[in-house]
Amino acid sequence: MATYTLPELPYDYAALEPVINPQIIELHHDKHHAAYVKGANDTLEQLEEARDKEAWSAINGLQKNLAFHLSGHILHSIYWHNMTGDGGGEPLAADGVGDLADAITESFGSYAGFKSQLTKAAATTQGSGWGVLAYEPVSGKLIVEQVYDHQGNVGQGSVPILVFDAWEHAFYLQYKNQKVDFIEAMWQVVNWQDVAKRYAAAKERVDVLLLAP
């Protein structure tokens, strides 16, 4: 039995129009995300075979493949729920996301400063990657990370709560090579309710890092 499975979308393919058209959502979820799930499962099978045979000549490549595909699966699983056709705007206490709004202000000085940093981080990824808002458990604050591919350039232990996919397959059919335009449009569909739930859950994960005294 496969360890990982492709999650269903929380909405139909057309739910995020006009920001993201249905064709992109269908291809992105049914083909690209599915490929990361298959890749993670296939790599686990190959690692099992390597253990059984004590054949470790390909260990470096297998470990890299597992990190790549598994991280792709995890980030995409967050990505779909981070968006809604009824989203956008600024997180406000009046909408029940006051703790998240306060954390953003505390960590970045202002919502505008945070929005600018995450937009630039996502839009200027070299090649393929993500812009990520993450909870960093050592400081207890929020940080922006610029993720290369799916797994590179991130702080150990950080918990992603809002992710912007900056891979070309996320936007090229609609936005062509204008990655900046896509990232700017993404703010119109951010599901702050989902982000706030992820922030609250991340804060409750105490003692998950055993730090040296």
Residue 81 pLDDT greater than 80, yes or no: yes
pLDDT in tens, 9-37: 999 999 999 999 999 999 999 999 999 99
Averaged pLDDT score across all residues of the chain? 95
Radius of gyration of the chain (CA): 18
Q: Compute CA distances 205 → 127, 136, 142, 202, 211, whole Å.
A: 33, 11, 14, 5, 15
Q: Write the CB contacts of 75 (distance below 8 Å, at least 6 apart in sequence).
A: 130, 132, 147, 150, 160, 163, 165
Sheet holding 129-136, edge to edge: 141-148, 129-136, 159-165
pTM > 0.85: yes
The count of other CB atoms within 10 Å of the CB of residue 55 is 10
Q: Which amino acid is at 26?
A: E
Model confidence at 1, pLDDT cuts 50, 70, 90, reads confident
Token output for 54: 């004590």
Q: Are 145 and 132 in contact (CB under 8 A)?
A: yes
CA proximity to 148, closest of 72, 39, 34, 61: 72
Region 192-198: mean pLDDT is 98
